[in-house]
């Protein structure tokens, strides 16, 4: 009985996808735009920070690196709660009007993925073969030119860190739920929709969204690995 119900649910899920259900694809588009913008925001401050940590020596560098690594596994619900308290009307930053908006979710997700981006990218930059650095210096390259060479050598690793950041933002639930409020046609994204529809008992709709979520995450990673080999 359970197996039959599950099969029927999966069939209905594929029907929703194949027929291009408007609500399904509206949610997908919103999720992609919010998480994509969140990743761009994280890159704005994350990449320069990763370059600073990975390529330069300064006092407290080990401590700064450890802070970012410590926040790699921060619970999304905990971050969502902190941001909710800061951005609520009675909070210190309530005047920004970020609560229950797509922009608020994007900013929250960008904060969430910044430790991933900085930690992975800085590690990639710091592990570039020393022979490449020595060769660049031997050929008379300046410090800036040497760093540019290192950045080129680390391109795919940095791109992988950006992809991991996007995937983390795209698949997270806590920040999207607490900051966005799961408002239909406004802040409802894939993860919050899956949670809501499952609670309502609409399993086919949940499965359809889950299939799309997994397909997008896996496709991006597989494409990156394919072109990286090329």
Is 41 among the domain residues?
A: yes
Is 172 among the domain residues?
A: yes
Q: How confident is the model at residue 134 (pLDDT cuts 50, 70, 90)?
A: low
Is 156 among the domain residues?
A: yes
Is 47 among the domain residues?
A: yes
pLDDT of amino acid 86: 96
**Residue 148 Cα to chain centre, angstroms:** 26
Cβ neighbourhood burial of 107 (10 Å; 0-12, 13-18, 19+): buried
Is 197 among the domain residues?
A: no
Is 215 among the domain residues?
A: no
In this prediction, residues 158-169 reach a mean pLDDT of 94
Query: Which residue range(s) make up the domain with 111?
Result: 24-189
190: Cβ contacts below 8 Å, ≥ 6 apart? 27, 28, 31, 170, 209, 212, 213
> pLDDT of 18-62, one tens digit each?
887 888 889 999 999 999 999 999 999 999 999 999 888 888 889
Q: 17: which 2 tokens?
A: 């996808």
Is 224 among the domain residues?
A: no
Give SS3 for 122: helix
Q: How confident is the model at residue 140 (pLDDT cuts 50, 70, 90)?
A: low
Give SS3 for 120: helix
> Which CATH number goes with the domain that contains 137?
1.10.3720.10
* Average pLDDT value over all residues in the chain: 87
Higher pLDDT: 56 or 97? It is 97
* Structural contact between residues 188 and 180, judged by C-beta atoms closer than 8 angstroms: yes
* Structural contact between residues 43 and 116, judged by C-beta atoms closer than 8 angstroms: no
Number of domains in the chain: 1
> pLDDT of 165-184, one tens digit each?
999 999 999 999 999 999 99
Is 9 among the domain residues?
A: no
pLDDT of amino acid 1: 47
Q: 65: which 2 tokens?
A: 């690196």
Residue 107: pLDDT over 80: yes
pLDDT of amino acid 211: 87
Instruction: Report long-range pairs for 196-205 (Cβ below 8 Å, ≥24 apart).
Output: 203/5, 203/9, 204/8, 204/9, 204/10, 204/12, 204/13, 204/16, 205/13, 205/16, 205/24
Q: State the CB neighbour count (10 A cutoff) for residue 159.
A: 15
């Amino acid at each position: 009985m359970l197996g039959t119900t599950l099969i029927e649910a999966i069939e209905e899920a594929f029907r929703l996808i194949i027929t291009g259900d408007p609500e399904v694809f509206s949610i997908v588009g919103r999720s992609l735009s919010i998480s994509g913008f969140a990743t761009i925001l994280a890159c704005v401050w994350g990449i320069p920070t990763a370059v600073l940590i990975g390529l330069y020596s300064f006092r407290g560098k080990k401590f700064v690196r450890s802070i970012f690594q410590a926040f790699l596994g921060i619970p999304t619900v905990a971050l969502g709660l902190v941001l909710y308290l800061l951005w609520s009307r009675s909070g210190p930053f309530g005047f920004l009007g970020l609560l229950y908006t797509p922009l608020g979710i994007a900013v929250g997700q960008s904060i969430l993925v910044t430790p991933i981006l900085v930690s992975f990218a800085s590690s990639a930059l710091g592990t570039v073969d020393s022979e490449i650095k020595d060769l660049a210096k031997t050929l008379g390259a300046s410090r800036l030119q040497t760093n540019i060479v290192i950045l080129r050598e680390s391109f795919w690793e940095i791109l992988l860190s950006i992809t991991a950041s996007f995937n983390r933002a795209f698949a997270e639930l806590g920040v999207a739920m607490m900051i966005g409020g799961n408002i239909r046609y406004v802040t409802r994204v894939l993860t919050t929709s899956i949670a809501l529809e499952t609670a309502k008992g609409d399993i086919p709709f949940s499965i359809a969204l889950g299939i799309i979520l997994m397909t997008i995450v896996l496709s991006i990673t597989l494409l990156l690995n394919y072109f990286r080999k090329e």
